[in-house]
């Protein structure tokens, strides 16, 4: 994949907003896709068939849809009503027949986000090889989340990987410094007032560790066994 101009403009904008640039671009994809689904595709037969098969959007995107409707004056509540009136009909039929509706296909927004995640990971890796891109990234407040950092470094040259590792460590250290400074300034002997950046560094740390609120970051807990199974084993002794 080439680092094309449009892609590097997208990344420049993402750098300006801080956070993980890939997660932030994916969040934009999710919100824009849901917006256009509600704004112009409510009566599109293909969209409606897909939504019927997936029983609407997944929980994450369905609740994001609620946020989009409530925060967009351009979207009339008629749009989600038309979509969900249709889908709840499917549920009524199934329950009447003594079952519950089966989900036959994936949430359409999840599928789009997965495709774009691949494009942005590949794009970041391609752009990282071109001069100037990493300089811009390094000087911004952006920090690749650990998941996206790991995926990007697997696709770059050895030299770029070393540069990215150095930048990542520097950015994570900076977050730690900001939090330390904030903690120190809470001491009653400290006369210095904490900055807003220091006060909010813990939020940036969460994003750097776990990613921004997108379906790709929110769908997996990762690591460890589920607690319930340990409790069950203990209870059965
Ligand atoms: Zn990310
Ligand atoms: Zn989804």
Ligand number with the minimum distance to the CA of 117: 1
Can you give the residue range of the structural domain that contains 39? Answer: 5-108
- Indicate whether 118 belongs to any domain: no
Rounded distance between C-alpha atoms, residue 184 and residue 157, angstroms = 40
Rounded distance between C-alpha atoms, residue 123 and residue 8, angstroms = 8
Which two tokens mark 38?
């509600």
- Indicate whether 39 belongs to any domain: yes
Instruction: Give pLDDT, residue 189.
Output: 87
Ligand 2 geometric centre to CA of 38 (Å): 15
pLDDT over threshold 90, residue 148: yes
Ligand 2 geometric centre to CA of 13 (Å): 25
Alpha-carbon radius of gyration of the chain: 22
Q: Which of 84, 78, 60, 72 is nearest to 35 (CA)?
A: 72
- Indicate whether 155 belongs to any domain: no
Q: Is 223 helix (H, G, I), strand (E, B) or coil?
A: coil
> Which ranges in 54-144 belong to alpha helices (H)?
59-71, 78-96, 108-128, 133-139
In sequence order, what are the residues at sequence separation of 6 or more whose Cβ sits closer than 8 angstroms to the Cβ of residue 134? Answer: 128, 160, 163, 164, 167
Rounded distance between C-alpha atoms, residue 20 and residue 211, angstroms = 7
Instruction: Give pLDDT, residue 220.
Output: 65
Instruction: Give pLDDT, residue 236.
Output: 45
- Indicate whether 46 belongs to any domain: yes
Give the residue carrying structure tokens 């770029």. Answer: 160
Ligand number with the minimum distance to the CA of 108: 2
pLDDT tens digit string along 159-193? 999 999 999 999 999 999 999 999 999 988 888 89
- Indicate whether 32 belongs to any domain: yes
Ligand 1 geometric centre to CA of 226 (Å): 24
Ligand 1 geometric centre to CA of 105 (Å): 26
Q: How much of the chain exceeds pLDDT 90, in percent?
A: 79
- Indicate whether 160 belongs to any domain: no
pLDDT over threshold 70, residue 52: yes
Q: What is the DSSP string of 54-77?
A: TTSS-HHHHHHHHHHHHH-TTS-T
Length of the chain measured in residues: 237
- Indicate whether 139 belongs to any domain: no
pTM above 0.85, yes or no: yes
Q: Is 128 helix (H, G, I), strand (E, B) or coil?
A: helix
In sequence order, what are the residues at sequence separation of 6 or more whose Cβ sits closer than 8 angstroms to the Cβ of residue 114? Answer: 216
pLDDT tens digit string along 184-206? 999 888 888 999 999 999 999 99
Structurally, the chain folds into a number of domains equal to 1
Instruction: Give pLDDT, residue 190.
Output: 83
Ligand 1 geometric centre to CA of 27 (Å): 10
pLDDT tens digit string along 72-98? 999 999 999 999 999 999 899 999 999
Ligand 2 geometric centre to CA of 189 (Å): 50
> Residue 223 — very low, low, confident or very high, per pLDDT cuts 50/70/90?
low
Instruction: Give pLDDT, residue 191.
Output: 86
Rounded distance between C-alpha atoms, residue 30 and residue 215, angstroms = 8
Rounded distance between C-alpha atoms, residue 11 and residue 129, angstroms = 14
Long-range contacts at 228-232 (CB < 8 A, ≥ 24 apart): none
- Indicate whether 187 belongs to any domain: no
């Amino acid at each position: 994949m080439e680092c094309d101009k449009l892609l590097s403009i997208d990344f420049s904008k993402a750098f300006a907003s801080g956070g993980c640039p890939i997660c932030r671009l994916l969040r934009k994809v999710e919100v824009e896709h849901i917006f256009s689904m509600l704004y112009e595709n409510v009566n599109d037969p293909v969209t409606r068939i897909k939504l019927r098969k997936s029983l609407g959007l997944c929980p994450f995107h369905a609740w994001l849809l609620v946020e989009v409707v409530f925060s967009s004056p351009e979207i009339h509540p008629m749009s989600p009503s038309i979509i969900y009136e249709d889908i709840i009909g499917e549920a009524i039929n199934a329950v009447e027949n003594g079952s519950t509706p089966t989900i036959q296909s994936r949430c359409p927004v999840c599928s789009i986000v997965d495709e774009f995640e691949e494009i942005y990971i590949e794009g970041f890796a391609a752009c990282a090889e071109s001069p100037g891109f990493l300089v811009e990234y390094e000087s911004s407040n952006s920090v690749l989340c650990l998941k996206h950092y790991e995926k990007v470094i697997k696709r770059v040259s050895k030299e770029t990987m070393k540069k990215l590792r150095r930048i990542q460590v520097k950015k994570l250290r900076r977050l730690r410094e900001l939090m330390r400074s904030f903690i120190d300034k809470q001491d009653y002997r400290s006369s210095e007032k904490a900055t807003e950046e220091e006060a909010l560094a813990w939020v940036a740390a969460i994003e750097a560790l776990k990613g921004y609120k997108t379906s790709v970051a929110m769908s997996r807990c990762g690591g460890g066994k589920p607690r319930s199974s340990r409790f069950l084993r203990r209870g059965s002794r």
